[in-house]
Amino acid sequence: MQGRVRAEERLDPYAEDLIESLRAFGYDLPTALADLVDNSIAARAKNVHISFCSDPGQTWVAIVDDGTGMSEPELHAAMRFARNPRHQRADGDLGRFGLGLKTASLSQARMLTVLSRNAAGSLAARTWDIDYIAERKEWLVLTQPDPEVLRIADQISFTGQGTAIIWRKTDKLGDGRTLSRRVSEAGRELALTFHRFLASGRLNLQIGRQVLAPLDPYLRRHPATQDRGVEELATSGHSIRVNPVVLPHPSRLTKKEATLVSGPGGMLARQGFYVYRGDRLVVAGSWLGLAGMHKSAPTRLARLALEIPPGVDLAWAVDVRKSTVHPPVQLEPRLIELAEDARARSEKVFTHRGAPARNNGKRSRVEPVWHQVRRLGQSEYSINREHPLVAAAFSNPSDKAIEGALRLIETTLPRELIVQEIANHVTEQTPERERVEPDTEEVLAMLRSLLTGLPSDLADRTALADALLKSEPFCRHPGLVKDIIEQVPSEEA
């Protein structure tokens, strides 16, 4: 019996619409440049140089490497959109979907030219021009270099073996100082993304005149860093390595060290798992959507290096941009345990720093400047009047004594304890209507204590009253505040 013929029709996507849609994959400049450096590494390049021109009306960005280069047929294949991610790839190949070169480049510019020269010495060229595709309404790639791109190639001294990727019509990058700043700032992310390649000498990466140094996100050489060692986990025919690390307390870091371990969003945004694929950093700080994991101030010192081998992208849900992953479900329980331990150790660092010093019998009792008191389920902080410097200011209220006490109070504010208190109890806060406010008598007693020695000048007293009326909890009792200020005698009375 002959099979039934299915009804069908050809329905090709509109070239101009699809290529415009591909620009919205979510790349930013650092991830776009990183995708191109991946290609250079796959081509066994040792040196990669990113150059740019920010002159208005003449902007361009060029990524040049000294890798193996491509022949005409190889470049033709490389400029084709997409390939099967299930196909076997070479060990050093950091790509997977066959989209990175094109989508990364066109996310930042409307014109992508690739010039490549292999060991044979002949120059191959291809250009995707979005405006040309929109005009012709077909997937037409230009096969000859135009005079402008040859001038740029000469300007960046692209004369030997390797590949030059040149972006023009950089509509997403701006020009002038804006373009210069964006490219320079991207260098910081690249120094982190490829820090293992840079540290081992396998790659030299330069932006403009700046040679990038590796950014170590773990500060393993710092004496206060807690390196918890490496654990190997196996699943679905492949193994991964996990290395939890807890950074030192921020107060123990120099300015340079703090800069090394921070990034956009600071240390708070950089906590969590650091996922590597073939020594290339794919995710720089994320809890990977694991149950119960979220970014908080007390856990910001916890970082876990997680290494996955190339070829497991589908199992780990690696996206096209190589910027997000999610672990296989069978690994989640152990990863959660390791993460919870690192998070707890991070919290302990802050708790230990904020705890009062213990009296071991060999030293006199250390007087804290601040007292933490729990009242009605809330933490309150008060100044310790018995601290020697504070007591001296009360007993001998000279300008120097008061100034010294104020400076002591300013410099010893328990910021970490306050931040931790907020983070730990943000989900446990009492609803607004149920919060217990101080009663009227308590407010009045507090106010009378504050108003000891009021100034005699009527204008000064009025200004003080206005300030108090704008502050909690006095703003809730405006009439009583005015009455008490008028009744309390002045310092000259």
Q: What are phi and psi of 372, to 5 degrees?
A: -100, 125
Sequence letter at residue 415: R
Q: Which of 474, 455, 355 is nearest to 414 (CA)?
A: 355
CA distance 143 to 120: 19
Question: Residue 473, preceding bond cis, omega within 30 degrees?
Answer: yes
Helix 388-395 × helix 399-411 angle, to 10° = 150
Q: What are phi and psi of 440, to 5 degrees?
A: -60, -40
CA distance 13 to 36: 27
Q: Which of 169, 77, 67, 75 is nearest to 125 (CA)?
A: 75
β-pair partners for 117: 123, 162
The predicted pLDDT at position 14 comes to 87
**CATH architecture, range 226-353:** 2-Layer Sandwich (3.30)
Please state the three-class secondary structure of the chain as a single string. Answer: CCCCCCCCCCCCCCHHHHHHHHHHCCCCHHHHHHHHHHHHHHCCCCEEEEEEECCCCCCEEEEEECCCCCCHHHHHHHCCCCCCCCCCCCCCCCCCCCCHHHHHHHCCCCEEEEEEECCCCCEEEEEEEHHHHHHHCCCCCECCCCHHHHHHHHHCCCCCCEEEEEEECCCCCCCHHHHHHHHHHHHHHHHHHCHHHHHHCCCEEEECCEECCCCCCCCCCCCCCEECCCEEEEECCEEEEEEEEECCCHHHCCHHHHHHHCCCCHHHHCCEEEEEECCEEEEEEECCCCCCCCCCHHHCCEEEEEEECCCCCCCCCCCCCCCCCCCCHHHHHHHHHHHHHHHHHHHHHHHHHHCCCCCCCCCCCCCCCEEEEEECCEEEEEECCCCHHHHHHHHCCCHHHHHHHHHHHHHCCCHHHHHHHHHHHCCCCCCHHHCCCCCHHHHHHHHHHHCCCECCCHHHHHHHHHHHHCCCCHHHCHHHHHHHHHHCCECCC
- Domain chopping of the chain, boundaries: 15-211, 226-353, 367-428, 439-493
Q: Which of 57, 164, 35 is nearest to 108 (CA)?
A: 35
Report the chain (493 residues): mean pLDDT per 10 consecutive residues: 78 87 86 94 96 95 97 93 52 49 93 96 94 94 96 95 97 93 93 95 95 92 90 85 93 87 82 92 90 91 91 67 74 93 91 51 53 57 71 71 70 67 53 45 56 59 65 65 63 42
The answer to whether the CB of 478 falls within 8 A of the CB of 442 is no
β-pair partners for 112: 128, 167
CB burial string 170-206: b at 16+ within 10 A, e below: bebbeeeeebbebbeebbbbbbbbbbbbbeeeebebe
CA distance 154 to 115: 12
Residue matched to tokens 């997977």:
96
The domain defined by 15-211 folds into: Heat Shock Protein 90 (3.30.565)
β-pair partners for 380: 373
The predicted pLDDT at position 243 comes to 95
